[in-house]
Amino acid sequence: MRVAVIGAGVIGLSTALCIHEQYHSLVPSLDMEVYADRYTPHTTSDGAAGLWQPYVSDHGNLRETIWNKETFDYLLGHLGSPAAKEMGLFLISGYNLFTQPVPDPSWKNIVLGFRNLTPKELELFPGYSYGWFNTALMLECRSYLPWLTNRLTQRGVKFFHKKVESFQEMFAQGVDVVINCTGVRAGELQPDPELQPGRGQVIKVLAPWVKHFIITHDIKSGIYKSPYIIPGSEFTVLGGIYQRGNWNEENSAQDHKTIWENCCRLLPALQKAKIVEEWSGLRPARPCVRLERESGRHGHRHAEVIHNYGHGGFGITIHWGCAMAAARLFGSILEEQQLGSPPQPRL
């Protein structure tokens, strides 16, 4: 059985690994390939700071809340393992700031030590009158994607540097199941008006004295439009840009100014930080994640696509829960094929 995963960001690679881990021993003929025109460090995932944190409001999307939790618990379980450092996985604490009281998020019991901020803590952040403190996880893709790639390579999964133009192209080659993890450009393979780029820009600085993430929220303007500061293992990521519908991957001088001024106002200690890099990327924004099977035919053969895209600005946060859901869909494909296939001749 030939499986082609299209896309090598955090979604593509983790879905590939999850399916391979669960089914390779059951289906010895499982032959998996990854196709992508961009690999780490040039994927959308590579630009993300890597903080596990869902959006402030889940809009009643229970499936996604569960996938977020599954991802957090999975990663938390790996924290004490020797692989953690190689994966780019570590604990981090920090602040979420608001200008008015807000309801607790759906993930308050998923993260560790969630609580409201005390008045003294709020003194640190003039202009913000309410907030949360909690301990969460960082998963840095510039380490995690190579780690996933190594695990996949060890399992014999093959990688191809190729832009896939259509699902038909894969089926014509003899692929049985396509896993569509193409992120923001999924519309090129199959039009999806609900999928839009959510352009972000970040400044990477050297500020190792910053030990907490600080994420501000402006409920009126929307998620990621308010400054945020996320310290990584090497660099600290400054951001606060979200432009829906903007496909431009070039850095904008205006956005740079917005990010820098807002972040320095938020954290005066950043003033002496050295700027190392600037990066822009397109969050694959969608009202909800598209995670579903699409069955069809290619000639007289059965053709299956499992879609797993549209994770917006929470791909890392939700990735493993989605990978497992995609693996379950894959399992259902296998089950149907077993039931539908003619009995094997006994020798």
Partner 1 sequence: MAAPKVAVVGAGVIGLSTALCIAETCPSCSVTVLSDQFSPNTTSDVAAGMLIPHTYPGTPIHVQKQWFKETFTYLFAISNSGEASEAGIHLVSGWQVFKNTPKEELPFWSDIVLGFRPMSKAELQKFPQHQFGQAFTTLKCDCPPYLLWLEKRLKATGVQMHTRKVADLWELHSEYNVVVNCTGIGAHQLVGDEKLFPIRGQVLKVHAPWVKNFIRDGDGLTYIYPGIHRITLGGTREKESWSLSPDPGTTKDIFDRCCSLEPSLRGAQDIEVKVGLRPSRWCVRLQREVLSQGGVKLPVVHNYGHGSGGFSVHRGTAKEAARLVGECIAALQGSSSRAKL
Residues contributing to the annotated binding site for D-dopa: 53, 217
Beta bridge partner(s), residue 309: 290
Which x/- pattern, by CB under 8 A, does the window 175-204 give for partner 1?
------------------------------
Residue number with CB closer to partner 1 (47 or 88): 88
Q: Say how far apart CA 121 and CA 117 lie, in whole Å.
A: 6
Single residue of 1, 27, 84, 334 touching partner 1 by CB under 8 A = 84
- From the annotation, which residues make up the binding site for FAD? 37-38, 44-45, 49-51, 164, 182, 312-317
The answer to whether 74 contacts partner 1 (rule: CB under 8 A) is no
Q: Name, in order, each residue with C-beta under 8 angstroms of 180's C-beta and a sequence gap of 6 or more.
A: 6, 7, 167, 186, 189, 190, 305, 306, 307, 308, 309
The answer to whether 139 contacts partner 1 (rule: CB under 8 A) is no
Single residue of 22, 61, 168, 233 touching partner 1 by CB under 8 A = 233
Tokens read off for 120: 């003294």
Single residue of 130, 133, 159, 279 touching partner 1 by CB under 8 A = 133
Instruction: Name the strand (E) or helix (H) holding 143.
Output: helix 141-154
Please report the DSSP string for 153-194 in residue order: HHTT-EEEE-----HHHHHHTT-SEEEE--GGGGGGTS--TT
Q: Considering only residues 296 through 335, tell me which ones interact with partner 1, judged by CB under 8 A.
A: none
DSSP 51: B
DSSP 344: P
CB of 129 to partner 1, least distance (A): 17
Residue number with CB closer to partner 1 (114 or 159): 114
Single residue of 18, 32, 97, 117 touching partner 1 by CB under 8 A = 117
Instruction: Name the strand (E) or helix (H) holding 278.
Output: strand 274-285
Instruction: Name the strand (E) or helix (H) holding 284.
Output: strand 274-285
Single residue of 38, 63, 212, 328 touching partner 1 by CB under 8 A = 212
Single residue of 118, 153, 295, 332 touching partner 1 by CB under 8 A = 118
Single residue of 100, 101, 103, 120 touching partner 1 by CB under 8 A = 120
N-to-C CA span, the chain: 23
Q: Say how far apart CA 142 and CA 192 lie, in whole Å.
A: 29
Tokens read off for 132: 């949360």
Residue number with CB closer to partner 1 (248 or 271): 271
Single residue of 92, 97, 259, 282 touching partner 1 by CB under 8 A = 92
238 neighbors 260 (Cβ within 8 angstroms): yes
Residue 325 phi/psi, 5-degree rounding, is -65, -40
CB of 91 to partner 1, least distance (A): 6
The answer to whether 231 contacts partner 1 (rule: CB under 8 A) is yes
Query: In degrees, to the nearest 5, what angle opens at C-alpha 331 toward C-alphas 328 and 333?
Result: 115
CB of 337 to partner 1, least distance (A): 41
| Interaction site with partner 1 (CB under 8 A) | 79-82, 84-85, 88, 90-93, 112-113, 115, 117-118, 120-121, 124, 133, 135, 138, 207-212, 231, 233-234, 268-269, 271-273
